[in-house]
Amino acid sequence: MNLARTATIAALLVLGLGPAVALGACGGGQSTGASADGGRGDGTVEGSSGGDGASGSDANGGDVVIGQDGGQCVPITTCPSTVTCGHFTDPCTGTTMVCGSQCPHGQVCTGSGTTQSCQPPACGGKCGDIGVDSCGVPIVCPGCSTGQACVNNACVTQADAGSAPDAGGCTPLTCMPSTNIDLCGTVTDGCGHTIQCSCPTGLQCIGGRCQTTPLECDTDAGTRCGQTTNACGSGTVQCGDCTGATKCTNGLCMPCTAPSCNGATCGSVNNGCGPTVTCGSCAGIDTCVDGGCCKPESCTEAIEAGIANHCGAVDLGCGVKHECSPCPGTDVCLSDGGCCTPLTCGDAVDAGMVQGCLAVDLGCGVHKNCSPCPGTDVCESDGGCTACIPKTCGDVGNTGCHHDDGCGSRFDCCATGTVCVETLCCAPGDVEYQGSCCKPTCDPNQPPGPQVSCGLVINCAQG
């Protein structure tokens, strides 16, 4: 591991990398007034009302001029023909739209001006994070060889690195590893170190990064829900839940029949379509039963009716049970509804019933140890106290963590070179996932960018 390793692994929650999803053709995508990556990266065009302008294309395929036209900037309303992937931002209005199709594995969507296409990453011997694609996903070049570190995107020897990494060979953790990239959730460097990060107001945590609602979530086919691949093919975006009278069906928010009260006067109804419908509430001590208000009896009424003249819970109707005649003091309620007074430990001692540390039957179903052993001593069958003998690693197979020694303490049994991860002994950097040790790694068959590994989100380099 070397300094080039970016500390951008975040727990997510719940992020899945599904198969690539075909997006709208050029000019058919949805748009928003905000740039998807905050203006950082090769894929976002920074517009200007001055200069000679740049070429684009209108909805009919004709050329338009981005720049001056009678002193005013001419907006682009559809994707230029030379923008064949990712997000494109109109320099006049700041409107961002989805263009073309996703890039294949091993390529990134990048460019400048009105030219943007799928290309191999421009690593050229560079290492580490060299920028972001047009969807705001970091473009990461391969790491350095053993004994080298990545400094300013170049591999140098550890001795020349200036600031050495920690003993684990990992870069310091931060919630903002580079400009305009805010991480969220549980962020880990893969060496067992973690920090918790949250998003600023107005942004949501998507794939371990703080982002605005993705453009890919609003398509010609409708509003998407759940996870989908971004427009560049470089990662996965989270589109969230459906709203209104819609439900998530095959990744799209589809119309459905909203729940209704249907004569109910209280409680709530939810059939999975839209928000829960509230049908009203009951007054006073009334309770809601099957959509109608029901008034249970009071304890006074139950006692007058002769159904609460004993201890224990009484059925007052409407699904309400309550103890109306509890036993006084330390008396115990018996199964037949009668109250029973158990002996005290003092009574048991006076009666000669106490035999060392053994539990004593005080009557009324109560058993109590009236002369317990001190500290961690153990009570033997003859009533005598002996010192507790704690369990050792040999008693638990010489493995595992946080074992109870039977004497009030816990112990670990990890072999040399392993560490405790939850309840397992694992190699450094591993996490516990579904009951086993798991090392977060990138899948070369998935697109670069955010991937799920061992239940965590890891930002993977270009393959």
Residue found by looking up tokens 């900037």 in the block: 73
Q: How confident is the model at residue 15 (pLDDT cuts 50, 70, 90)?
A: very low
Look at residue 166 in the predicted model and tell me its pLDDT: 41
Clarify whether residues 330 and 198 are in a common domain: no
Averaged pLDDT of the chain = 76
Clarify whether residues 41 and 152 are in a common domain: yes
Q: How far is CA 261 from CA 39, 48, 271, 279, 286, in A?
A: 49, 56, 11, 6, 19
Clarify whether residues 382 and 418 are in a common domain: no
Look at residue 24 in the predicted model and tell me its pLDDT: 35
pLDDT of 64 higher than 70: no
Model confidence pLDDT, tens digit, residues 441-457: 776 666 555 566 777 76
In a domain, 420, yes or no: yes
Look at residue 27 in the predicted model and tell me its pLDDT: 37
Q: Between 31 and 410, whose confidence is greater?
A: 410
Clarify whether residues 173 and 321 are in a common domain: no
Look at residue 144 in the predicted model and tell me its pLDDT: 80
Q: Between 79 and 210, whose confidence is greater?
A: 79
Q: How confident is the model at residue 12 (pLDDT cuts 50, 70, 90)?
A: very low
Clarify whether residues 154 and 128 are in a common domain: yes
Please compute the mean of the pLDDT values over residues 199-204 and round it to a whole number.
76
End-to-end CA distance of the chain: 17
Clarify whether residues 375 and 300 are in a common domain: no
Please compute the mean of the pLDDT values over residues 123-130 and round it to a whole number.
84
pLDDT of 55 higher than 90: no
Look at residue 84 in the predicted model and tell me its pLDDT: 95
Residue found by looking up tokens 């703080």 in the block: 210
Please compute the mean of the pLDDT values over residues 166-190 and round it to a whole number.
66
Clarify whether residues 322 and 210 are in a common domain: no
Look at residue 6 in the predicted model and tell me its pLDDT: 35
For residues 140 and 127, give the distance between their C-alpha atoms in angstroms, rounded to a whole number: 7
Clarify whether residues 355 and 409 are in a common domain: no
Model confidence pLDDT, tens digit, residues 330-371: 899 998 889 999 999 999 999 999 999 999 999 999 999 999
Look at residue 160 in the predicted model and tell me its pLDDT: 58
In a domain, 411, yes or no: yes
Please compute the mean of the pLDDT values over residues 15-33 and round it to a whole number.
37
In a domain, 269, yes or no: no
What domain range includes position 381? 345-386
Q: Between 201 and 230, whose confidence is greater?
A: 230
In a domain, 375, yes or no: yes
Q: How confident is the model at residue 373 (pLDDT cuts 50, 70, 90)?
A: very high
State percent of the chain over pLDDT 90. Answer: 23
In a domain, 57, yes or no: yes
pLDDT of 417 higher than 70: yes
Q: How confident is the model at residue 45 (pLDDT cuts 50, 70, 90)?
A: very low
Q: How confident is the model at residue 161 (pLDDT cuts 50, 70, 90)?
A: low
pLDDT of 227 higher than 50: yes
Look at residue 41 in the predicted model and tell me its pLDDT: 35
Look at residue 153 in the predicted model and tell me its pLDDT: 81
Q: Which of 45-54, 226-235, 244-253, 292-301 has the lowest mean pLDDT?
A: 45-54
Query: For residue 114, how many C-alpha atoms fall within 13 Å in the half-sphere facing its CB?
Result: 23
In a domain, 290, yes or no: no
Q: How far is CA 239 from CA 44, 134, 248, 272, in A?
A: 22, 19, 11, 18
In a domain, 289, yes or no: no
Clarify whether residues 352 and 401 are in a common domain: no
Clarify whether residues 314 and 179 are in a common domain: no
Look at residue 70 in the predicted model and tell me its pLDDT: 58
pLDDT of 288 higher than 90: yes
Please compute the mean of the pLDDT values over residues 115-128 and round it to a whole number.
89
Look at residue 99 in the predicted model and tell me its pLDDT: 92
For residues 339 and 260, give the distance between their C-alpha atoms in angstroms, rounded to a whole number: 49
Amino acid (one-letter) located at 226: G
Q: How confident is the model at residue 191 (pLDDT cuts 50, 70, 90)?
A: low
Look at residue 42 in the predicted model and tell me its pLDDT: 35
Clarify whether residues 360 and 419 are in a common domain: no
Please compute the mean of the pLDDT values over residues 93-112 and round it to a whole number.
89
CB atoms within 10 A of CB 202: 7
Look at residue 81 in the predicted model and tell me its pLDDT: 94
Query: Domains in the chain: how many in total?
Result: 4
Report field, pTM of the whole predicted structure over 0.75:
no
Q: How confident is the model at residue 190 (pLDDT cuts 50, 70, 90)?
A: low
Look at residue 178 in the predicted model and tell me its pLDDT: 67
Q: What is the 3-state secondary structure (H, E, C) of the chain?
A: CCCCCCCCEEECCCCCCCCCCCCCCCCCCCEECCCCCCCCCCCCCCCCCCCCCEEEECCCCCEEEECEECCEECCCCCCCCCECCCEEECCCCCCEEECCCCCCCCCEEEEECCEEEEECCCCCCCCEEEEECCCCCEEEECCCCCCEEEECCEEEEHHHCCCCCCCCCCCCCCCCCECCECECEEEECCCCCEEEECCCCCCEEECCEEECCCHHHEECCEEECCEEECCCCCCEEECCCCCCCEEEECCEEEECCCCCCCCCCCEEECCCCCCCEEEECCCCCCEEECCEEECCCCHHHHHHCCCCCCCCEEEEECCEEEECCCCCCCCEECCCCCEECCCCHHHHHHCCCCCCCCCEEEECCEEECCCCCCCCCEECCCCCEECCCCCCHHHHCCCCCCEECCCCCEECCCCCCCEEECCEEECCCCEEECCEEECCCCCCCCCCEEEEECCEEEEECCC
Q: Which of 59-63, 208-212, 247-251 has the lowest mean pLDDT?
A: 59-63
In a domain, 250, yes or no: no
Clarify whether residues 355 and 428 are in a common domain: no
Retrieve residue 78's tokens. Answer: 């559809």
Look at residue 163 in the predicted model and tell me its pLDDT: 45
